[in-house]
Amino acid sequence: MALRQAKIQPTLEEKRYITLQFLEAAFMSGSEVNITPVEAYGLSDLSGERFTYKDQVNTYVIFDERPTPKLLQKFGWYREDAEQIPVIAYIATHLLYDKQTEEVVNEVLLDGNEMQDLVALGESEHYELKDLKITRGALIEIYYDFNPDKLNKFYVADVKTDLVSINYVANLVPYKNDKSSETDEDANRTNQKFLKTKTEEQGF
């Protein structure tokens, strides 16, 4: 009887190294986006979903606008009657921050010592890896090179992580703002933005 092969999970240091490589690949061949992560989630009357949001961050992600049926079936996103193929985005679980400015840095060229410290410790003298939490409802604005003044906005309908949590695989749908979701009372109570959606409209 053949022995079952053991699954070898990468170490934390290996995950950090792969994440840094992913961030570089996304910057080199991906797309620039603004991501607004979800702060809190709740359900309102009539099964409406309600989200409040954290501050927006600018980074790069890799899109798959023509995912294969096999990929969609793997994550339970395949629908034979779907009128539109979903847009899939691969998003890093961590972003690189400048310690001094506390801003996300996408274009930085790491030297050997910086890379070694980030892989070993998650931070170096100048930079730090911080987690990016992507959940249902997160907003993603896409920049287009041929029309830099226009942003196309999507929101995350569903999200998965791979087996070793190196990156997110997000199912995106076009964002349609429900103007009625924010009332004067909401605006007076908090500066946070709201989004209300109906789950059944997206097939989830």
Burial of residue 25, with CB atoms counted within 10 A of its CB: 0-12 exposed, 13-18 middle, 19 or more buried? middle
pLDDT in tens, 21-57: 999 999 999 999 999 999 988 876 666 788 899 999 9
- Average pLDDT of the residues in 88-111: 94
Residue 41's pLDDT is: 83
Say which range, 4-8, 158-162, 198-202, has the weakest mean pLDDT.
198-202
Which CATH class for the 12-199 domain? mainly beta
Residue 134's pLDDT is: 95
Structure tokens at 7: 């699954």
The DSSP 8-state label assigned to residue 65 in this structure reads: S
Number of other CB atoms surrounding residue 77 within 10 Å? 21
Q: Rounded to the nearest 10 degrees, how much is the dihedral formed by the CA atoms of 29, 75, 164, 175? A: 50
- C-alpha 96/C-alpha 59 separation (Å) is 10
- Where along the chain do its domains lie? 12-199
Mapped onto helix, strand or coil, the DSSP state of residue 204 is coil
Amino acid at 143: Y
Indicate whether 85 pLDDT > 60: yes
Say which range, 114-128, 164-178, 179-193, has the weakest mean pLDDT.
179-193
Say which range, 31-40, 56-65, 161-170, has the weakest mean pLDDT.
161-170
- C-alpha 59/C-alpha 30 separation (Å) is 10
pLDDT in tens, 124-158: 999 999 999 999 999 999 887 666 666 789 999 99
Residue 43's pLDDT is: 76
Residue 4's pLDDT is: 57
Residue 149's pLDDT is: 65
Closest CA to 131 of 96, 90, 89, 163: 96
Burial of residue 176, with CB atoms counted within 10 A of its CB: 0-12 exposed, 13-18 middle, 19 or more buried? exposed
